[in-house]
Amino acid sequence: MAIAQDQPDLRRVIDEEREVEGLGEQELIELYRRLVLLRTYDERSLVYHRQGRIGTYAIFWNHEAMQAGSVFALEDRDWVFPSYRESAIGLLRGIPASTILHWWRGHPAGWWNPAEHNVASIAVPIATHVPHAAGLAWGKKLKGEDAVAIAYFGDGATSEGAFHEGANFAAVMGAPLILFCNNNQWAISTPVAAQTRAETLAAKAAGYGMPGIRVDGTDVLAVYEATREAAERARSGGGPTFVEALSYRAAPHATADDPRAYIDMERVERERENECVGRYERYLRRLGVLGDDLVEEVKAEALDVMKRGIAEAEAEPEPDVGLLFEHAYANPPASFERDLAELRRILGGSVG
């Protein structure tokens, strides 16, 4: 006997040839710009990695619609909590490409101050940033500020206790939080079917007493619409929402990963043919709001951002070892000075 589950169908806009109320031509094109910017960041990063200009890199190809669509539904005062899979989402909030490239280059210039962009640091560990987002949203509510928070995490992350505790705190505190689950159906080599027996990930929402929405994660407009709904609910005191965005990881987990060992590459090929940027581009062309010239312009623009970004990053001098001892504490122990002095003496005053 299995509990009958409420299964909201995948929300779709593009396939239904719908239009999203509230989005004019300008917004539709701005959204396209953002998709292309993310796509370009991702594709260039792969090149830079192969060229040895950045380190290991977590590819987010075909995840752009989830990231651009959801952020587009938020206000600038709303907080974004990315995982490594959303490493470049800060581009949509004015964080320079060079900063994010620095992060992947292992350069401390990859640090940023979350408060300046309302974008938290990139979460490398799985799911432990979910309680952070819940706490921030709760804290804003307690202070009477009407900011919303969104936390990004994957299908695998839903197995972690940290996800569970964060989601429950958010629900209990009525925190204005969007739990955005990027269900790309893989956690490195582990398929979502080995991650949970739930019929859907959205089915977890009921266990927290919050709504769960399922959406086509490769349909940027559906993602936008669902996130906007969740954000409105959160802002109006309705508490958190779990959004399951269904997509497919049509690229390796990261540059170090070789999926051929565990993934059906034909399935990957099919998914790649239907990838999210092209889908949206075709939709806009059908609508007649996008033509070759604009496409070229937008892509050139994005490529330019990346070229300037990598150039800036590579122009940055190597970090000084003194940074080792900075920012571990707002007010550091006396021992740090001694340690640094000794280190400089041994290094002959310079980091070789």
Partner 1 sequence: MAELFMVEAINDGFHVELARDESVMVMGEDVGRAGGVFRATAGLRERFGESRCVDTPLAEAGILGTAVGLCMAGWRPVCEMQYDAFSYPCLDQLITHVGRYHWRTGGGMEFPLVVRMPYGGCVRAPELHDDSPEAYYVHTPGVKVAIPSTPADAKGLLAAAIRDPDPVVILEPKLIYRTERTEVPEGDHVVPLGKARLAREGSDLTLVAYGAMVPLCERAADALAGDASVEVLDLRTLKPLDEDALLASAAKTGRVVIVQEAPRTAGFGAEIAAILAEKAILDLHGPVLRVTGYDVPYPYWKIEDAYMPSVERVVDAARRLLEF
Ligand X SMILES: Cc1ncc(C[n+]2csc(CCOP(=O)(O)OP(=O)(O)O)c2C)c(N)n1
What positions carry a catalytic annotation?
249, 253, 262
Closer residue to partner 1, CB minimum distance, 59 or 298: 59
Contacts of 162 (CB under 8 A, 6+ apart): 126, 127, 128, 130, 131
Here's the x/- map for ligand X, 41-70, by CB under 6 A: it reads as ------------------------------
Restricting to residues 187-216, name those near its own copies by CB under 8 A: 194-199, 202-212
Q: Report which residue's Cβ sits closest to ligand X.
A: 154
Round to whole Å and give the CA distance between 94 and 187: 29
Structural tokens at position 263: 């993934």
Separation of first and last alpha carbons in the chain: 66
- Determine the Cα angle at 87 with ends 85 and 93, to 5°: 130
What angle in degrees, to the nearest 10, is found between the helix axes of 25-50 and 292-315? 40
Count of helices and strands (H, E) across the chain: 11, 7
Round to whole Å and give the CA distance between 136 and 141: 9
Q: State the binding partner of 184 from Mg ion, partner 1, its own copies, none, CB within 5 to 8 A by kind.
A: Mg ion
Judged by CB under 6 A, the residue of 104, 186, 242, 280 near ligand X is: 186
Closer residue to ligand X, CB minimum distance, 126 or 130: 126
Restricting to residues 252-281, name those near ligand X by CB under 6 A: 253
CB of 69 to its own copies, least distance (A): 20
CB of 160 to Mg ion, least distance (A): 12
Query: Residue 198 to residues 168, 180, 193, 194: CA-CA distances in angstroms?
Result: 18, 17, 9, 10
**Is there a contact between 28 and 20 (Cβ–Cβ < 8 Å)?**
no
Closer residue to partner 1, CB minimum distance, 13 or 150: 150
Closer residue to partner 1, CB minimum distance, 307 or 327: 327
Judged by CB under 8 A, the residue of 104, 242, 248, 283 near partner 1 is: 104
Which residues of this protein are in contact with its own copies, per CB under 8 A? Answer: 1-6, 8, 159-165, 168, 171-172, 194-199, 202-212, 233, 239
Which residues of this protein are in contact with ligand X, per CB under 6 A? Answer: 85, 124-126, 154-157, 182, 184, 186-188, 249, 253
